[in-house]
Amino acid sequence: MKKILRLLLFATVIAAGPMLLIGWTKWVEPKWGTVQVIQAAKEIKRGQIIKKDDLKVVNIKADQIVSNRKTEPNESNRLTNGSLIIGEEALRTIYVNEQIIEDMLGLDELKPGNGESNMPIPNDWILMVPGSLLRGDHISLMPVLDKTRMQGETSRNALEEDEEKTVKPAAVSESDVDALTDIPVSYSKAGNNQEVTTEDDGRQKPSGAVKNLEIVVNENQRKLIIKYGSEGYKFLVTYR
């Protein structure tokens, strides 16, 4: 009887070896020293609203995670109720297996928050706007004096011959220039009132020229834009 038990024990140990190896290889090793992250399960185009089936949760080595990733180990379950990523708008093309990071998403910042508003900029207040400007970009507005308007004011004042009626535009302060930076573009539309898009992230093929521009501004920025636009300035638009 003891001999039979020894044989059974020996057979069990021999059989358990491969099973333990399979278990280690299949379930333990892939998660050993790894972190859960959310990646793109398929290519997500710029401007696309992200859905659950666009994403997947995977385990990767800790040294492969990227900064500002849009998930923590315990947050992957939130994919079920759509928080964090689902329903957000892709600000650029997100490729298969890319980890989702904060800079890829931007729908929230394109919605005015407390003390903010969505503001269109009159076309005659814009000096120049980059042809590659798209929704979700962050722009800076540099007030530039409109010489054509000021020449008209000078001629009118000369005819009136009244120096007291001469309107002198306010100088642009450095603090105002700083305030008019990092402004999100909520809409960038062509002449047909359709959103300007591009076929590639290199912006080589925009769908049209920007004709209508709307931005998300706080109260101070709104007042500064109205102030300079009303005093004969136009805005040079740059973006990052």
Global model pTM greater than 0.75: no
Reduced to 3 states, what is the DSSP secondary structure of residue 44? strand
Contact by Cβ (8 Å): 236, 225:
no
Contact by Cβ (8 Å): 41, 54:
yes
Tokens encoding 173: 């302060």
Architecture label for domain 34-64+79-106: Alpha-Beta Complex (3.90)
Mind listing the pLDDT tens digit of every residue in the chain (240 residues)? 666 766 776 667 676 666 656 665 665 555 556 778 888 999 988 878 888 889 888 888 877 777 767 654 344 444 434 446 888 888 888 899 998 887 788 766 778 889 999 999 998 899 888 877 888 888 999 999 887 655 555 544 544 545 445 556 668 889 999 999 999 988 888 777 667 776 666 566 666 677 888 999 999 999 999 999 998 899 999 987
Q: How far apart are CA 45 and CA 51, in angstroms?
A: 12
Alpha-carbon Rg for the chain in angstroms: 29
Domain spans of the chain? 34-64+79-106, 116-153+168-239
Q: Give the residue among 129, 59, 126, 65 at the shortest CA–CA distance from 101.
A: 65
What pairing do the DSSP bridges indicate for beta strands 233-239 and 126-128? parallel
Contact by Cβ (8 Å): 121, 205:
no
